[in-house]
Amino acid sequence: MIELLSVLPATRARAGDQITSVETFLVRVPLPQPVRNGTALITEREYLLVRVTTASGAIGVGCAFTRSAPLRPIVDDFLAPQIIGRSVFDVQNISADLFRSGELFLGRTGAFPRALSLVDIALWDAMGSISGLSLAEQLGGSGAAVPTLMALGYYQSGDEIELLQAEYSELVDQGFRRFKMMAGGATLEHDVRRVAAVKEVLPPDATLAVDVNGAWASAREALTFLDAVDTEFSFIEDPFLPDNIAALTAFRKHSSAIVAVGEWESSRYRFLELLKLDLLDIARVDATAVGGITEWMRIAAVVAAHDKRVLPHYYPEIHRHLVAACPVAEAIEVVPRLTGADNYHVLVRSTPWEDAPHVPSLTTPGLGIEWNWESIEQLGND
């Protein structure tokens, strides 16, 4: 924990708005049983929470997966000392200063922007606590309901086909109509069976996307899959690893499929490159990976300037506000609890984005998250 040791001049921060402490909480939560997303076996979720407190007692919190990256020491030892004493309302300049101070030595991609994201998100949350405005309202968003895309269809042991159909059927009965499933993690024949099984239980007004998690190595693999399944997906996500530009270029040349990429990207310059090359239709911008809310909005503006769409990656508790404030953003992504692949609910008091296919934007201050600090402290903070 970093604490304010001296009062800085009033020109640096208004009384009450200055940041007095930055705390981190590392929490590991095992999954009920391992799941595969196509390229990785997931046995637990590791979260880092960053809690910022101001002189007036306002609190803001950022939380995301660590992806096993050393985010905590970057926040504790590098980022926190640079923001103590500054005003939370100086978030735009703080973001720029931290990017400049870290990108040369810690890099523009990977762990550094993810750590910075948590600090930036916490600052926006704290601003909402002080102003009384939700994040969506701070960004000029409306109170309109935000559509939900349900991401499931993970690879499972046992009678997978029966389990797949049961999961999708349950959500269809609850009124959900936007869906995604995993592919690329099994033989082509098995993936064809999985897609057919899901399509069998979806109503005509439902949409289905497929997430490959970079499992394919060539455009030929992707084209062969599309021919075999004979399905018009709403989009194909991450067909190749992010540095396989040759495969993505070839695929775009030979297929009219809607392509969604970007969840692994952590640089606005990288998104700009992909947009200039016309290698995406939907940008999967993740506020916990690109540098936070500040950078997310910058990237969304660039995407809009290229007449493309945004579909945020996961973290509905954050992105529902951003979607409400971004005209080219089309939905939030939710991993439903029934998949066993998500355990975020143990960190919070409620998860309203799982309740209906459209989630109203909250008017409570900041992110509007009610954290379960008893559970968080019990589960971790190694």
Angle at CA 28, nearest 5°, toward 24 and 29?
135
pLDDT at 382 (0 to 100): 63
Q: Kindly state whether residues 68 and 126 are assigned to the same domain.
A: yes
Alpha-carbon span 175 to 28, nearest angstrom: 32
Q: Kindly state whether residues 148 and 211 are assigned to the same domain.
A: yes
pLDDT at 7 (0 to 100): 35
Q: Kindly state whether residues 104 and 165 are assigned to the same domain.
A: no
Give the side-chain half-sphere CA count within 13 A for 182. Answer: 24
Q: Kindly state whether residues 60 and 128 are assigned to the same domain.
A: yes
Q: Kindly state whether residues 122 and 55 are assigned to the same domain.
A: yes
Question: Total structural domains in the chain?
Answer: 2
Q: Kindly state whether residues 9 and 65 are assigned to the same domain.
A: yes
Q: Kindly state whether residues 156 and 273 are assigned to the same domain.
A: yes
pTM here is: 0.93
pLDDT at 12 (0 to 100): 42
Q: Kindly state whether residues 271 and 356 are assigned to the same domain.
A: yes
Sequence-distant (6+) residues with CB within 8 A of 200 are: 165
Strands (E), the chain: 2-3, 19-36, 41-54, 59-65, 146-151, 178-182, 207-211, 236-237, 259-261, 282-283, 309-310, 332-334, 358-359
Instruction: Give the position of tokens 């609890």.
Output: 337
Residue of 116, 65, 24 lying closest to 381 (CA atoms): 24
Total number of residues shown for the chain = 382
Q: Kindly state whether residues 127 and 220 are assigned to the same domain.
A: no
Name the residue range of residue 57's domain. 2-132+374-379
Q: Kindly state whether residues 167 and 54 are assigned to the same domain.
A: no
Question: Which CATH number goes with the domain that contains 324?
Answer: 3.20.20.120
pLDDT at 39 (0 to 100): 76
**CB atoms < 10 A from the CB of 118, how many?**
29
pLDDT at 166 (0 to 100): 96
Q: Kindly state whether residues 120 and 172 are assigned to the same domain.
A: no
pLDDT at 356 (0 to 100): 83
Per-10-residue mean pLDDT, the chain, length 382: 40 73 96 82 93 97 95 97 96 94 83 96 97 93 85 88 95 96 95 97 98 97 97 97 96 97 92 96 97 96 97 94 93 92 90 82 88 91 64
Q: Kindly state whether residues 44 and 181 are assigned to the same domain.
A: no
Question: Which CATH number goes with the domain that contains 102?
Answer: 3.30.390.10
